[in-house]
Each structure stands twice: as structure tokens, then as C-alpha cells.
Structure 1
Amino acid sequence: MSSRSMNCDGPWDAIVVGSGASGGVAAMTLAEGGARVLVVEAGPNLTSTEAFGSEPGNLLRRIVGLTSGSHRRQSQHPGYWKANPRLYADERLHPYDHPTNQPFLWTRGLQVGGRSLTWGGITLRLSDEDLAGVNVDGEQVGWPLRSRDLMPHYAELERWLGVHGGRDGLDHLPDGETQPALVATPAEQRFAEVVRHRLGYPVIQSRGFGPWLQETNAPWPRSSSRGSSLPRAMATGRTQLMSEHLVERLLVNAGGDKATGVVAVDQANGNRKELKADLVVLAASTIQTVSILLRSRRGEQSNGFDDPSGRLGTRLMDHVSTSQFFAFPEQVHAAQPPLTGAGSFFVPFGRHLSSAEFQGGYGLWGGIGRFDPPRWLRRRPSCITGFLIGHGEVLPRVENKVTLSERSDRWGVRVPLIACRWSPNELAMVTHMRASIKACIDAAGGEAKPIKDLFHLPFVEPFLDGAVALSDGAAPPGYYIHEVGGAAMGSNETSSVLDSSNRLWRVPNVLVVDGACWPSSAWQSPTLTMMALSRRACLLALSGRGG
């Protein structure tokens, strides 16, 4: 791929900000449609060896990341302990603020490929039930779309990416155009049978990507933009990449109704560059995209855009979650299948919950017998280990928001201030989740235990004590890395930031195609829907069609 030193000033037909799941699909769609595209990425262009590393080097990098403070917050997430820490942003160079009493764990992937390089690869569609939204303080907050609007884009992505999944026939979780589901472990099969028959809960094999190394010997996983959409975009000969340049703001004309490009900050020296294009596509990840828009408003800039809704930055959401590990009575087999997006299972309640005293829905994601360490590291050698993680829909509340802090980063870019906390609705949902998790484990004959009571973790245990994400209650917002909202799409400019084609109401040549555009959170893993929205919005832009 192109290097960071290339002259990319333009003008371009389109600038895509961000190179992750949404940005990769945007670049591919636009370039294959004939547009000349510049992809601007804040992080470096790593080789696959640099990106994924190996042990024990990754462990040493984790220790450095923790002791130096560069990964103080991000290390709370379990994914940090199985990935190369190079795929997590240095919090000292890329700071953010939150109120002292409202912790927010913002995980950032600043490199070409973004967080798609650490994505778990679960691909669940939204249903019309989800898109109808929720009622918040007397207002029905829903989507200006229905499943028919997303169906062709879901189907194209699922077929092309080769995701796996079953035909489960659930109205609230539509089936996809998938390859056959992967086989569950024997323990998962027993668990599912018992939970279905004793509790009447639905249990399905998860939908998503299979194990990377068993699929191909390609240098990048298919679930990442580096292994899928970005190579297709580059193959057109109409796409260039500018890495290590963080987009600070939009360039907007004097009338405030057209973007002429973006201002990007060279991360090597702080120099600012004006990059010109006819179309700007923001896919920098939810909070970063919202921050770019906040820095581009009238009042922040002499030439800025207006947000007639007054809602920009408000109604930030992340999935509320709680987790439980458990011992399951079965010997560890010599070869354990890996835990992947398709190699796992779901208890997909959605909104179909009994005795629910809250709005929204949730699902339980789990796996059994997929990640046990060698026998000498297991405290219960006669058992294998399972987990269940609930992740649930969060209400779009005006008080959960992103604003601009008075603090700036090393190059003078004002950083986000994130104020987000769970409401009584989410806390009631977590109580219900924990009861459902307990019911499943008890029915299946498992024994709920903290992870440190299941494994000997000599290098990790000192960092687990007091970890907020491992408490019995709800992990803090941001923990699940499914943040959405802040620049919601809608049917009119007084109640939404974007129109139904993902365009800024007053600046229609700016598209927002990552999680920032979501009006409500639903409960499903959001990445496939983000990619479908990105493809749809870019095809509409190419065709010149409006909302």
C-alpha cells in the first residue's frame, strides 16, 4: 500500500477518513464505482508481522504498556491480553477526558485497518424490531430505515466475506446469506440441549468468521479491512493511502453548506495539511468522528457548519455488559477449537424477555472448551472452562455525550470529553442478565467462578485485582467497544444530525458511515451493520440519489 510520504493533496473525488471496517468498505465501494479516493488514517501502515507480533514479545509489550501508562484504560479489556499491544493506541499521545465519577474505557486502534484487526468477527443482522428503536422520555427514537433497506447490502457482504451461520428462523434475528455454521464443541452441544429443553431459551451457533489460520495462509484475516476491502480498493488503481495523519476537522465553504476537504495533522511533526475533495466520508470510529464534527461546527471555526437539531455529540451509547466464567464437568481435549465469531454460541433473547422491567433487549454470547490453558495452569483439571457475556441495548439519552475538552493533544488538537453513565434502565437489564446467566449455568450443571479461581495466571493476576471490568455488576461504558451514536440519522433536521442517506443535513457532501450515525444501539454486534450502512451510503452518493 502507498506510503505516508506520497503527495496526496488532491483534489480527490472522495476522501475517506479511517481505514477500518466502515472506511474500508467506503473506499472499496467508491473506487469500484469509478471515484478517485484518498484514505486518510491516523496511525501507521504496519506489516502483518508488526501488527500481530508473537509471544513472548507481545507479553513484554503489554508489561511496558501497563507500567508506562500508555494502556492504563485499554488493558481492562480481555482482548488486550491476547493481541499485540501495538494495535492499541498510546493513551499518552492520544488522550481523552471523562468526569472523575463517570469512567469511560475508550479502546482505539490507530493503524491502517483500525479496530478491524482486533474485531471478534461476529456478524448479526438487525431486524425491523430493532430499527423501530425505543421510547425515551416520551420520544420514539428510531431509524429512518427498515430491514429491506439494508438487506441487499448485508447479503452482498456476507456472501463476499464468506461468513458462517445457521438458518435459525428467528424473526428478531434475521438469517443471513451464510456458509454452513461451524460445529459446536461437545460441551456446547450439551449446554445448548439442556438450556433449550429445561429453560426454553433459544440457543444458536454464532454467526461470523471462522478461524483465520485455518481459512487461508493470507497475511491478514478476512475479517479485517486489510484482508478484504482495502486490497479491493487499492486494486482499482484509483485509491491512495495517507497514513499517520489524524484528521482534525472539515474544511467548509463560507456558506457553510459544502465541505471542500479536511485538515489533517501529520503525527510525525504536527504540520497541518489541507486535503481537497468533492465528497468527505467520515469513518474514523464513533467518538473520533463525532469529535471531528464538533471541531468543524460554526463557532469552533470561522467557516463551520450548522447542526439545526442541536443533537451533535449527544446520545452516545455502548452495549451494557456483564460476564461470568464457569467450570463445566468435562476433560479438556487435546485439540481445542479456537474461539471466533462463528466458533461460539448465542442465547439471543433480543427483546423477548420474561418479566423484563426495562426497555430494550439483550443476548448472551458464550463458548465452552475453546480457551483452556495447559493442565498445569488449570486449578480445576477435571473441568473445562466456559463463559457467558451479556450485551444489551442502551437507551439514547441526551446526557450521555461527547463534547470538546479544554485540553489538547501534543499537536494542539482539542480532545474529546466523554460523559456517559448507565441509567436505571441499563442497571435493571444487567440484573436480569445475571439471573439469566445463572439460570443457564445451573441448568447445564456448571459452576460459576471468577477467572482467577479457574486458572493460574502468574503474570496477569496482579493486574486483575480491582479491574473494574471484572466486577459482578456492569462494566463501565466503553468496555464492550461497541460505542455508537452522537450523530444520529433521522427523517428530519430538527431531530437528527444526518438524513436517511447518512449525509449531514446542511452539508450533504459529508457522509458519516461508522457507529456515530446510529439512532439507537440495538443489542447485536454492530460491525456488519456499519459496513452495510457504509456500502449503502456510498452507492447512493455515487448515484446522486438523495434520502
Structure 2
Amino acid sequence: MINKPYEVIIVGSGATGGMAALTMAKAGVRVLVIERGPELEIKQANGTEPCNMIRRLIGVSTGNYQNQPQHPGFWKSNPLLYANKKANPYTFPAKSPFMWTQGNQVGGRSLTWGGITLRLADEDFEASKDKQYNLEWPISYKDLESHYSEIERFLRVHGNKDDLDQLPNGEYIGNLPFTESEARFASNIKEKLNLPFIHSRGFGANTDKTKWPRFSSLGSTLKEAVRLGKVEILSNQIVDKIVLNKDRKAAKSIIVVNQKNGERSELESKLIILCSSTIQTIRILLSSEESNNSNGLIDPSNSLGKNLMDHISTCRFFTVPIEKNLTNYSDKNNNHLLTGAGSFFIPIGRNRSTKNNYVGGYGIWGGIDRFEPPDILKKYKNTKTGFLIGHGEVLPNHKNTVSLSKSKDAYDISIPHISIVWRENEKRIVSEMNKMIELIINSGKGRIIPVNEILNIPFTKQILSKSVATKNDAPPPGYYIHEVGGAPMGNDKGKSVLDNWNRLWECRNVLVVDGACWPTSSWQSPTLTMMAITKRACEKAIIDFKD
């Protein structure tokens, strides 16, 4: 057990947990980070081929991995970084599946993060005031602007300052170049459709496998926090619930369960920060709430666990012809790997919503010649392969919920029951995104192809044909791994779970800073904004802490 004294407990060690730990450590506050999973060595986390592939196939055949094979990252990462569903169960309605991807290890899902860093715009915060939204952001873009900049400088992300209202500029070390196919594609799109076509923003490839990737908390925020000597990590511990003082005005401690021996412990702290990912955070709060504990947390809004959101997505693969003077970039140097920054973005934003009868915004991420198969395996010769993925905003809906199942896990902890469905507004966004994607591909001289025709291999075709990403309908909720909501921040405790500084209204020494605190989903990739919200809330907590 931990020997050093600590003043703050942070639950979770991923993107927000690392940011919280670093912010506290910089202020000289001693922190204990609790992580559900193990602490892996770099070689363990990376794994090797063919061992990783053997683990994938065994996991799929035994049912330990059910949703994970639907995600491209599963096939390029060590499958151990994707939590075993049987050991980490959850439930959902039979007709409304939810694809929950968990990353239970020190570093969390930051180890498998795609590494795209997009800011929300002022219009995204302001849009929540419209009548179609039942929740409203209590902060504006200005409240996060300086935090965005500091985080981007620290992480050293790539990007280009494109001066777009729907996607504010950031602090970048320069962009990663387009492939030649992408550059030609971009020229056609700008000329024919007058759409913004920009370098994606984020991280490049991690080429040094002896170091943690910079996009992970272990390679950036948590690494620096530990270096400062103020942070200790307690791994393999599941947080069951929060314990309050007798007057229920403040949290006293948390109850953790040791996964190795099942023993329960109570860890006291002056401040508790929940960063364990949206659904786990909601599960902890629900387990701590007064309906499940006579001396539990009070939620004046009665909205805890409601308004769960995820991005709705749609995907198309396509080919473009190789021009006569086009250099073949599919070489052994891997200069054009698909990464968060090694790709492109078409940020549509919100400006098409009114005339197209839907509410919200969307963006389209893509790449060409980033995962090119060998010519001998390609069905379509003399072409380059590309993809476009649209991801759109999902409106808050009180019927989309996380609750506690009657079932419990191996440690007698209630498991989450996740119930979320796409409504008509989301379906209209998918229809709009599909039309736009097809228009873009046609304008770029491309040809849409089924994903199972990328490789001319029968066995691969059978696997790819079952992918939810290839269907005409949107994949089920959870697929895009951008779940947010359930414990929203706000200015009115009758409508929100948290105040505008991410504190529980009736228990101010508990902060919720991961995706659970979002009132709306917006359309951008959320991780950078989660980190900015975390930094802002923790800096305020430090001031309160000292007072």
C-alpha cells in the first residue's frame, strides 16, 4: 500500500487523469492516482507480432473480445490494451447494443488514442443555448483558450493555422505533409466545392518503441507529474464508491477493491478527482448516490446518468487513380503513416444545419495512401486507397442513460447498464454526411468501393464484410469511443450535476473532469477539450485548496 502522505486522489490515469496529476504536481500538491488496471512495461504494452495477432484471434474466438475487433486500432495495437469484456462486464437492452471500449491499464485509453487534437469553437458553446438543447454549457471558448494553448505547446502537436471560425487555431510545431494523392484530392475539393480542406491536427507516429508515445499520458502529462516527485500510482484497484462525512457536505474517502486478492480498503483524501472515463465515472457516482447509500451523494437535479452521448459516424472507402506523374509514396520509409496529424480534415461545422433540417455540426476525417496494401493484394490496380469518416454531433437526450444493473461483477460491484439509441436528428445528420461524403469523393475523381474489396483475399473479405463501419446505417453508439455526458456541468443545480468549476453541487471536494461533465457532445474529437477542462478545474481547486 502507499506509504507517502497524499492530499488528492485522482481516479483514472488516462488523458484527463494525467492532466489532473500534472496540474496538481506543478502546484506542489501530493497526489495518489488510482488505476483499475495494471502498470505495464513498455515492451508489455507494445507486444510483438505474431504474438499480438495470436492474442487477437484467441480473444475473438473465446468471446473475450466482442466489440473490439470492430475498431481499426485493435488490429494495429496490442489487444491487451483493450479490456476483456468478460472480466469487465456491462449490460444493454437487447435491441439497443452499445459498443463500450475500455482501456484498463496505467495510461488508460490514451495508449490507444488516435491522437487528433481539435478545439471546440465559441459557436459550439453558444449553440447549447438554443431551444433544441436541454442542457447549456456554463463556460465559453474564452474560458478554455489559454488552457488549450498551454496544453498544445506542452504536447507539441502538429497542425496548421487555417483561420476557420468553426475550428479555432492552436499552437502547433508545423503540419505533417499531405501525400501527393491527398494534395490533388484537396485541390479538386477546394476548387469544385469550396469546402475547407485542412491538415489534421494532432500527433505523428511514435517511431521509437522504446519510449511511451507522446499522445499517451505515460509519454507526456503523467510522466512529467511523476518526475516532479509528487505523484504515486496505485494500480489494479477498482474504485467502488465515494464515502461522505456524516453531514454529507464533503467527501471523506473512497472504497477501492484490490483486483489481485479482492480486499477492500478505504482511502481518505481532502479532494477527489474523477477521471476514470465517462461511463466508469457515472458508475462510481451512481454507486455513491443517496438512492444506493443512506448517507450518499445528493443530486439536486435528479439527472445523474442521463443524457449520455457519443458521436454518430459513417464511413466510406474509395480509390483514386494514380496520375502519370504521381510518385509512389507507399514505400518502406513509412513517411505517410495514418496518424492523428498524418491525415486531413474537412471541418463542416454547423453552417449547413438549418437548411438541411438537422441540429448540430459535423466534420469529416480522411486519408489517402496512408494504409496502401501491396499491389499484388489489391483488387483495383493503378489506384490509391482512401477513406472518409464523418462524425456528427448527438444531442443530449434524458432517455439515453447509464444506470446500475442488477448484476454485479466478480468483486460484488454493480456493473453499468447502458441504454442509448439514435434519434431522428442523428439519422438526418448521417444522411447529410453520406451525401456530402459521396459528393466529395466524386468531386475528387474518386470511386467508392466496399471495404471488403480493398484486399483481394477471400478470408479477409469475409471478416471485413461483417464490419459495422461498412454498413449504410450508422454504427451502434459507442463505436466511435467519444462517449460524453451523464454528469453535466452547468449554472443551475436544478438542471446539472456539477457547477461551472466541475464540482458536485452538494459535495464541493469531488470534481468530475472527464467526458461525463459535458452538457453537449459538439462534433470535434473531444480529448483535447477534456484536458483543457481538467486543467481549468484543477487550477481552481488548488486555489480553493489553499484557502
User: TM bucket by the smaller chain?
Assistant: over 0.9
Q: Using the alignment, how far apart are the partners of 2:380 and 2:121 within structure 1? A: 41
TM-score if structure 1 supplies the norm length?
Answer: 0.96
Percent identical among aligned pairs is 48
Corresponding residue of 1:491: 491
Amino acid corresponding to residue 340 of structure 2 in structure 1? G
Q: Using the alignment, how far apart are the partners of 1:545 and 1:44 within structure 2? A: 30
Q: Using the alignment, how far apart are the partners of 1:204 and 1:545 within structure 2? A: 42
Q: Using the alignment, how far apart are the partners of 1:382 and 1:210 within structure 2? A: 28
Q: Using the alignment, how far apart are the partners of 1:459 and 1:174 within structure 2? A: 44
Q: Using the alignment, how far apart are the partners of 1:298 and 1:10 within structure 2? A: 32
Once the two structures are superposed, the pairs formed by residues 183-198 of structure 1 within 5 Å of their partners are 183-198=177-192
SS at match of 2:504: coil
Deviates more, 1:487-496 or 1:375-384: 375-384
Unaligned runs of 5+ in 1: 1-6
Once the two structures are superposed, the pairs formed by residues 223-262 of structure 1 within 5 Å of their partners are 223-262=215-254
Deviates more, 1:129-138 or 1:140-149: 129-138
Amino acid corresponding to residue 227 of structure 2 in structure 1? A
SS at match of 2:402: strand
Q: Is contact 2:8-2:29 (8 Å) kept?
A: yes
Amino acid corresponding to residue 246 of structure 1 in structure 2? I
Amino acid corresponding to residue 535 of structure 2 in structure 1? R
1:290 aligns with 2:282: yes
- Please list the CA deviations of residues 170-196 of structure 1 after superposition, one character each: whole Å capped at 9, or x if unmatched: 111100011111111111111111111
Q: Using the alignment, how far apart are the partners of 2:519 and 2:102 within structure 1? A: 22
Corresponding residue of 1:310: 302
Q: Is contact 1:11-1:275 (8 Å) kept?
A: no
Q: Using the alignment, how far apart are the partners of 1:191 and 1:437 within structure 2? A: 13
Corresponding residue of 2:92: 98
- Deviation at residue 238 of structure 1 after TM alignment: 1.6
Corresponding residue of 1:210: 204
Q: Using the alignment, how far apart are the partners of 1:339 and 1:237 within structure 2? A: 36
Q: Using the alignment, how far apart are the partners of 2:457 and 2:153 within structure 1? A: 40
- Deviation at residue 135 of structure 1 after TM alignment: 6.4
Amino acid corresponding to residue 61 of structure 2 in structure 1? T
Once the two structures are superposed, the pairs formed by residues 133-148 of structure 1 within 5 Å of their partners are 133-134=127-128, 140-148=134-142
Count of residue pairs the alignment pairs up: 538
Q: Is contact 1:348-1:362 (8 Å) kept?
A: yes
Q: Is contact 2:37-2:236 (8 Å) kept?
A: yes
Q: Which of structure 1's runs of 4+ aligned residues deviate more than 6 A?
A: none
Q: Is contact 2:363-2:390 (8 Å) kept?
A: yes
Q: Is contact 1:87-1:111 (8 Å) kept?
A: yes
- Aligned CA-pair RMSD: 1.6
- Please list the CA deviations of residues 428-480 of structure 1 after superposition, one character each: whole Å capped at 9, or x if unmatched: 00000000000000011111011211113566444334333321111110000
Amino acid corresponding to residue 544 of structure 1 in structure 2? D
1:518 aligns with 2:518: yes
SS at match of 1:390: strand
- Deviation at residue 250 of structure 1 after TM alignment: 0.7
Q: Using the alignment, how far apart are the partners of 1:480 and 1:64 within structure 2? A: 24
Once the two structures are superposed, the pairs formed by residues 157-196 of structure 1 within 5 Å of their partners are 157-196=151-190
Amino acid corresponding to residue 351 of structure 2 in structure 1? H
Corresponding residue of 1:340: 339
Corresponding residue of 2:502: 502
Q: Is contact 2:330-2:369 (8 Å) kept?
A: no
TM-score if structure 2 supplies the norm length?
Answer: 0.96
SS at match of 2:7: strand
Q: Using the alignment, how far apart are the partners of 2:489 and 2:246 within structure 1? A: 25
Unaligned runs of 5+ in 2: none
Query: Structure 2 residue aligned with 1:79, among 53, 73, 77?
Result: 73
Q: Using the alignment, how far apart are the partners of 1:517 and 1:132 within structure 2? A: 17
Q: Using the alignment, how far apart are the partners of 1:134 and 1:49 within structure 2? A: 44
Q: Using the alignment, how far apart are the partners of 1:77 and 1:157 within structure 2? A: 27
Amino acid corresponding to residue 111 of structure 2 in structure 1? L
Query: Structure 2 residue aligned with 1:41, among 23, 29, 35?
Result: 35
Q: Is contact 1:38-1:240 (8 Å) kept?
A: yes
